Amino acid sequence: MSAPAIDVQRLTKRFGDFTAVDDVSFSVARGEVFGLLGPNGAGKSTTIRMLCGILGPTAGRGEVAGHDIVGEPEAVRARIGYMSQKFSLYLDLSVLENLEFYGGVYGLGRDRLGERIGWALEMAGLRERGDQLAAELPAGWRQRLALGCALLHEPEVVFLDEPTAGADPMSRRQFWEVIYELRGAGVTTLVSTHYMDEAERCDRLGFIFAGKLAALDRPDRLKQVREKGTLVEVECDRPAAAAAALQATAGFASARLHGAGIHVGLDEPAGAAAGVRSALEEAGFRVERAEVVGPTLEDVFVSLIEEMEASSGAAVR
């Protein structure tokens, strides 16, 4: 097995007395798609910025594409692509001008630049729009242009910080198609996201809460390992009022909306679904369906947050 594409040991970043990233260790294999999940402000972006050699860690170390992020940030930056949350595009430049600008930053020669710009325009579906100002592009297109700029120099490792926030399902699929093409070519991707369906698409996931890495595994394994007690899914009328009623009932405090229904976590498997059903019916709700289900990644996410909040005694969101 070759060396990992990303290797992080006890990485820590403090801003004054605030610890944004707290003793985080993980590694990502070459060609892996690694997802970083966590609430807003958990430390995902700070982690990514340190791995890109933009922000120096307070403690710990990291290697990306075989180079030390502290000692050799230049070498790291030459081998990675980075798409930040706020688009790294010049809105008052055209599509082509943005690509040419990034090609210059990466020091691409004329022939290679021409070839790579052709690739980026094709990938982003922007062939007809080379002269359009970046500011005029719809969000999804702009995100694909930013991805094109980040990939222009064919980096070995790609960091994408919530690249699809607000994009429609069509754009997000096109985006993931590119990520999988990169994976097929051996490129490593680290992507942060709030979309649980995108989390399902990753090879492995890291959950970050309050700067700490709380879980690290494959999506299917996370769901197996984190399965505790019994989860009941309910479909009923007035789901918001029903969830509130359950939340106020002893034993059902974990109730919360999930998709069109409600998920309730219970300790006792026997009669779990029937118990939730009768509690709701007694309170005057019409229950269409109540059954035991396996956890989704969203359930895993919620249970991790609850554990972290309980152990730290503070809201982590």
Shortest CB 139 distance to another protein, Å: 5
Q: Which is nearer to another protein, 52 or 178 (CB)?
A: 178
Contact 157, 102 (CB under 8 A): no
Using CB under 8 A, which of 2, 17, 92, 170 touches another protein? 170
Residue 97, both tokens: 């001008």
Residue 151 CB contacts under 8 Å (≥ 6 apart), including other chains: 81, 120, 123, 158, 178, 182
Counting contacts by CB under 8 A, is residue 163 touching another protein?
Answer: no
Q: Which of 3, 15, 41, 278 binds another protein (CB under 8 A)?
A: 41
Pairing between β-strand 33-37 and β-strand 204-209 as defined by DSSP bridges? parallel
Interface with another protein (CB under 8 A), residue total 49
Query: According to the binding rule CB under 8 A, does residue 87 interact with another protein?
Result: no
| Tokens 């690249």 found at | 163
Q: Which of residues 45-84 bind another protein (CB under 8 A)?
A: none
Q: Which of 3, 91, 135, 244 binds another protein (CB under 8 A)?
A: 244
Nearest CB to another protein, comparing residues 46 and 171: 171
The one segment of 59-67, 92-100, 226-234, 299-307 that binds another protein by CB under 8 A: 299-307
Q: Considering only CA atoms, which of 271, 268, 259 is closest in space to residue 299?
A: 259
Q: Which of 97, 154, 217, 298 binds another protein (CB under 8 A)?
A: 298
Q: Does 173 bind another protein (CB under 8 A)?
A: yes
Q: Which of these ranges, 56-64, 93-101, 146-154, 165-173, lies near another protein under the rule CB under 8 A? A: 165-173
Two tokens, residue 255 = 């109730």
Binding residue for another protein (CB under 8 A) from 56, 107, 114, 138? Answer: 138
Please report, for the chain, how many H helices and E strands are present, in that order. Answer: 11, 14
Among 228, 219, 308, 225, smallest CA distance to 265 is for: 228
CA distance 2 to 7: 12
- Out of 133, 139, 216, 293, which residue is the one contacting another protein (CB under 8 A)? 139
Beta carbons of 124 and 44 less than 8 angstroms apart: no
Q: Which of 162, 153, 206, 249 is nearest to 21 (CA)?
A: 206
Please check whether residue 190 is in contact with residue 83, taking contact to mean a CB–CB distance below 8 angstroms: no
- Are 316 and 309 in contact by the 8 Å Cβ rule? The answer is yes
Q: Which of 131, 184, 250, 314 binds another protein (CB under 8 A)?
A: 184
- Smallest gap from Cβ 69 to another protein, in A, equals 26
229 binds another protein (CB under 8 A): no
158-159-162-163 Cα dihedral, nearest 10 degrees: -30
Within 103-132, the residues that bind another protein by CB under 8 A are: 125
- Residue 169 sits in the site that holds another protein (CB under 8 A): yes
**CA-based torsion, 117, 46, 8, 54: positive or negative:** positive
Interface residues toward another protein, by CB under 8 A: 38-41, 85, 125, 138-141, 162, 165-171, 173, 176-177, 180-181, 184, 194-197, 200-203, 219, 238-241, 243-244, 256-260, 298, 301-302, 305, 317
